[in-house]
Structure 1
Amino acid sequence: MVDQTEAGFVELQQALAGRYSIERELGRGGMGIVYLAREVSLDRPVALKLLPPALAGQAATRERFLQEARTAAKLSHPNIVPIFAVDEVDDFVFFAMAYIEGETLGERVRSRGPRAASEVARILREVSWALAYAHAQGVVHRDVKPDNILLEEGSGRALVADFGIASVAESAGGRADRVAGTAEFMSPEQARGGPVGASSDIYSLGIVGFYALAGSLPFEGSTAPAILGKHLSEPAPALVSVAPGVPTQLARTIDRCLAKEPENRFPNEEELAETLGQLVEQRRDVPAPLRSFIKRTGDIGTGGILLYFFLLFSASGTVASLLGSAVGYGLGTTIGYGVFFGGLSLAPLGITVNRVRRLLKSGFGREELLVAFRAEIERNREEGSFEYGHEPSKYEWSLRVLSVGGIVTAAVSLIAMFNSPSETLALTFSFGLLTGLGTGVPALTRIQKRHDLDGRLRSWLWRSRFGRWMFRLAGLGLKRLPQAGSATYRPTEIAIGLAADRLYDQLPRAARRSLRQLPDVVRKLENDAQRMRRRVDELTEVLGGLRADKRQSRSLQAALPESDVTERQQQLEDDLAAARDAAQDRLADAVAALETIRLGLLHMHAGGGSVESLTGDLEAAREVADDIDRLMDAQREVQKLIDG
């Protein structure tokens, strides 16, 4: 709190008496001091930003400050802190803006650490909206940083403050102070003193996102010139290299904002906000009925399994004993086995059908379940990557080596014991088996956690013909199912594939029999499209981080002259870019082939298509799938360059 006996405070309060009653200081920086005050006439809290006396005494700076503040006061947007008044009284130059109860993004990160991806994506989208609106009015912020982004208490709404004020320091010869204060968030073109525009604010917003997600800055240094030099000469590190738990698409969005050349960033904030909006929609929570279904079908307690097996075994034994005395031992035993194996299959099947039926009654079908599985798998993959890393650690590699060594030792010992049994071989077998299992189980657990193999297997099961049949069986007798709407974002290939499934299921039986290969082709195209989508993401990520980590150049410099290193690195980047473009083209081909199949099915339903024409479409789709397989084989050579 400001010392209210300070001469400066007393003079300011005397000058503003009757208009504002100053309560306390909120903060200060190179561009001024911010006070919490009450506007007397309207009886409302406001924040007063006062131009530092040293700058207020310069006529040109004083006029520039007033001009910029008045321009910013014309901005009216839900994500911009409104300016109520711009004024000068005696030697004081200030403006009054709304007081936002809450904290800045910088304060939140400093006090609570890196923020969740969903929270950051929402905040960045709201700031993008504000910047887009301001740029449309001809106002460039020039000082986008976490401490200029206010987070409203309760709603969490992000509001941007201090539009255009930063340029005042530059016009006042106060550039050194300005750089020292916010050099970490300055774009390369702003750092070199060139003209700045919307693209500069996008770069700064990218650093804000990097900081909020990683808890650290991409460029740090002991002095402002050192930091600015890094902005000018060094590529920003890939976000996933310092924050591996961040979703790939969000990391790619941040990395694109941090491109050194303005033309390689987003062309405008509208497109950036749209991209962030898609990420926010993709990460909506899975509805409770779907979440419960996925959890209950995946988490089967060990105690429940043992109890069920015990009861089933007891029941089958009791039936065999009772019937054995009446109909004979052989027939009684056969019936007992029938009870046991029937219980193993029919009871779980009945439980699953009941759960599917409840899901259908809640308004969610197989399509929504598959989309929910995809969202859950992605969520689990991100959590696994954060906990265990993208790649196996040295500890995990040690577990794998010990596991394989133990199993091999046990196998060799077992084979040897068949030829010449001995106590030494028996002990070796036991030791190898215990070592293999003891290290293999935790190694497999880490693989499962990182890649969610269980979730992928269950997703495949519900996507298969078995899953389709289970939903048909569970839906018998349900005349009309309520529609719960879309559960979550669907990638294009999944949405088209599910639509094709519906249309195929509604065909006459004879047509389905003739087109019995169609579901398999659709599944293949869906999987290929997703492979290509992941491949595009991977190659884009590698391209973004190639120059940042400089691993390739360091490995080449040991054996090649510097000029050859540069040429080789450039060739590698060109190869990666070509591979990414080829994967993007194959992704488009796979989606187009799916769309062709869907349109063919629509024509058949409308009476204008035929089985023969759709069969031709399926053959063309198979060729697309074969092309994708060949592309993946060819790109393995590119992967060797990346790894090696």
Structure 2
Amino acid sequence: PAFLLLLGYGILLAWRFFRRAFHLIRTQPEADEANRLLGIALHYQGHLDEAFGRLQRCRADTAVLDALYNLALDFERRRQFNKAAAVFLYITKNSTQEYRDAAPRHQRMLAMEKAFVFGMSQKALHSTMILSPEAMEKPMIGRYELTGELGQGAMGMVYLGKDSKMDRVVAVKTMAISHELKPEAMAEVKERFFLEAMAAGRLNHPHIVTVFDMGEEDDLAYIVMDYVQGETLKSFIDVGKLLPVAEVLRIGMQVADALEYAHCNQIIHRDIKPANIMYDPKTGRVKVTDFGVASLTDSTRTRTGTIIGTPSYMSPEQVAGKHVEAGSDLFSLGVTLFQLLTGQLPFTGDSLASVIFKIANESFPDIRDLRKDLSPAIGVLISKALQKEARDRYQTAAEMKADLQECLEQIERG
């Protein structure tokens, strides 16, 4: 009886085992499909880590490997190279034959993870991201795909991007969030960075760059602006590359128009200079950029006693750390026009201290001594813009624009 009892128990266990195995064989494809679809849904919703966990529960057939590969590419776009490497490695280990380029991409992701760590050094503040020429997926910030580098900004790189939602080309200014800085210092740096978006975001003018969006992702802060064709006026300040006088006057009129609008909206730019003015030689169109040090006159964000801007283009009151008003921007525009017309700055020196002293205390050279072909009216205009006392300068940008137009009309009349 005991033998029969044990035999019966063994048969019962075997029957249960085979029944469970048969059930798993019959239901596994359904479970795999459910996990695959759930993984794809999580991926679509942006939950990449959860998506990877779900897809790992599936048998690695072609459909699952395809979903994993697309997931790895998205990790790569988001610059999460260690996670992209983990997914590519999983694909490599679970495919019976070499799946696409998963193996070489795994090695590339490992190399990228070692090469680029965001926000961990002062170097990162100036080289926020490097777009590799190799066959990498284009990086993403938010919904913006970065397709190329446009140049170096004051706080980080500026990239050419594509807005996937609106299907438009944009410029994306970035700043690495450095963990080396103390929290209060980092908060101040971020506030200054986003001040540009807050200031320019209040403005809607054909000669002021438009800000669309701003945000933070991982160790990057970013501002999204419209992409402006052309180059900065910095390309036209050297002797031999100077623009025609009439074109400089037209540029000055457009900048003055932009400043009049900004000033009427209680915003002082505080850093007008050739590098912050975009110019398209094909159309002659100008746009003022970089409101990163702007002062909102109805705000207490910019403190008196703080010198912010580019010294060579600053007004006497700005280099002294005093409160600045519209006349300070007009002084900076005067310096910019002086440089565009002559190829040199009105105030130069061997050191920063020397330049600041001359701006505050010494007179500038007569522009007509440097260029004999300039009209007396242009000389008067530049002289008025560069007066030491704000009360002696143009009081509004509209007034300066009117004189620029008069000078232009004199040239056009011959």
Q: Is the 8 A contact 2:196 2:294 kept in 1?
A: no
Partner SS for 2:223? strand
Q: Is it true that 1:37 corresponds to 2:161 in the alignment?
A: yes
Q: Which amino acid aligns with 1:26?
A: L
Gaps of 5+ in 1: 287-374, 376-644
- Alpha-carbon separation, structure 1, partners of 2:393 and 2:150: 35
- Alpha-carbon separation, structure 2, partners of 1:183 and 1:67: 20
1:108-187 matched pairs, under 5 angstroms:
108-110=236-238, 112-165=240-293, 182-187=310-315
Which residue is 2:375 aligned to? Answer: 247
Q: Is the 8 A contact 2:347 2:358 kept in 1?
A: yes
Q: Is it true that 1:196 corresponds to 2:324 in the alignment?
A: yes
Which residue is 1:329 aligned to? Answer: none
Q: Which amino acid aligns with 2:260?
A: A
**Which of 46, 56, 59 is 2:170 aligned to?**
46
Q: What is the Cα deviation at residue 151 of structure 1?
A: 0.7
- Alpha-carbon separation, structure 1, partners of 2:240 and 2:233: 10
Q: What is the Cα deviation at residue 64 of structure 1?
A: 4.2
Partner SS for 1:94? strand
Which residue is 1:260 aligned to? Answer: 388
Q: What is the Cα deviation at residue 65 of structure 1?
A: 3.2
- 1:72-131 Cα offsets, whole Å, 9 max, x none, are 112111111111112222332221111111111111233842322211111001100000
Partner SS for 1:283? helix
Q: What is the Cα deviation at residue 137 of structure 1?
A: 0.4
TM-score (structure 2 length as normaliser):
0.61
Which residue is 2:406 aligned to? Answer: 278
Partner SS for 1:75? coil
Q: Is the 8 A contact 2:196 2:290 kept in 1?
A: no
Q: Which amino acid aligns with 1:53?
A: I
Q: Is the 8 A contact 2:141 2:217 kept in 1?
A: no
Q: Is the 8 A contact 2:231 2:280 kept in 1?
A: yes
- Alpha-carbon separation, structure 2, partners of 1:6 and 1:45: 26
Q: What is the Cα deviation at residue 18 of structure 1?
A: 5.8
1:107-506 matched pairs, under 5 angstroms:
107-110=235-238, 112-165=240-293, 182-284=310-412, 375=414
Gaps of 5+ in 2: 1-111, 119-127, 132-136
Q: Is the 8 A contact 1:16 1:89 kept in 2?
A: no
Q: Which amino acid aligns with 1:93?
A: A
Q: Which amino acid aligns with 2:203?
A: L
- 1:486-522 Cα offsets, whole Å, 9 max, x none, are xxxxxxxxxxxxxxxxxxxxxxxxxxxxxxxxxxxxx
Which residue is 1:619 aligned to? Answer: none
C-alpha change, 1:279 and 1:70, in structure 2 (3 Å) is same
C-alpha change, 1:14 and 1:116, in structure 2 (3 Å) is closer
Q: Is the 8 A contact 2:171 2:224 kept in 1?
A: yes
C-alpha change, 1:14 and 1:60, in structure 2 (3 Å) is farther
Q: What is the Cα deviation at residue 164 of structure 1?
A: 4.8
C-alpha change, 1:162 and 1:234, in structure 2 (3 Å) is same
- Alpha-carbon separation, structure 2, partners of 1:166 and 1:223: 25
Q: Is the 8 A contact 2:195 2:292 kept in 1?
A: no
Q: Is the 8 A contact 1:142 1:164 kept in 2?
A: no
- Alpha-carbon separation, structure 2, partners of 1:122 and 1:71: 25
- 1:184-238 Cα offsets, whole Å, 9 max, x none, are 1011100000001100000000000000000111111232222111111111111
C-alpha change, 1:199 and 1:98, in structure 2 (3 Å) is same
* Percent pairwise identity: 36
C-alpha change, 1:277 and 1:70, in structure 2 (3 Å) is same
Partner SS for 2:149? strand
C-alpha change, 1:17 and 1:91, in structure 2 (3 Å) is closer
Q: Give the superposed CA RMSD.
A: 3.0
**Which of 148, 151, 155 is 1:24 aligned to?**
148
Q: Is it true that 1:58 corresponds to 2:186 in the alignment?
A: yes
- Alpha-carbon separation, structure 1, partners of 2:145 and 2:189: 26
Identify the structure with the greater strand proportion.
2
Q: Number of paired residues? A: 279
Which residue is 1:75 aligned to? Answer: 203
Identify the structure with the greater helix proportion.
1
Partner SS for 1:58? helix
Q: Which amino acid aligns with 1:244?
A: K
Q: If you compute each CA radius of gyration, which structure gives the higher value, 1 or 2?
A: 1
C-alpha change, 1:157 and 1:11, in structure 2 (3 Å) is closer
- 1:599-633 Cα offsets, whole Å, 9 max, x none, are xxxxxxxxxxxxxxxxxxxxxxxxxxxxxxxxxxx
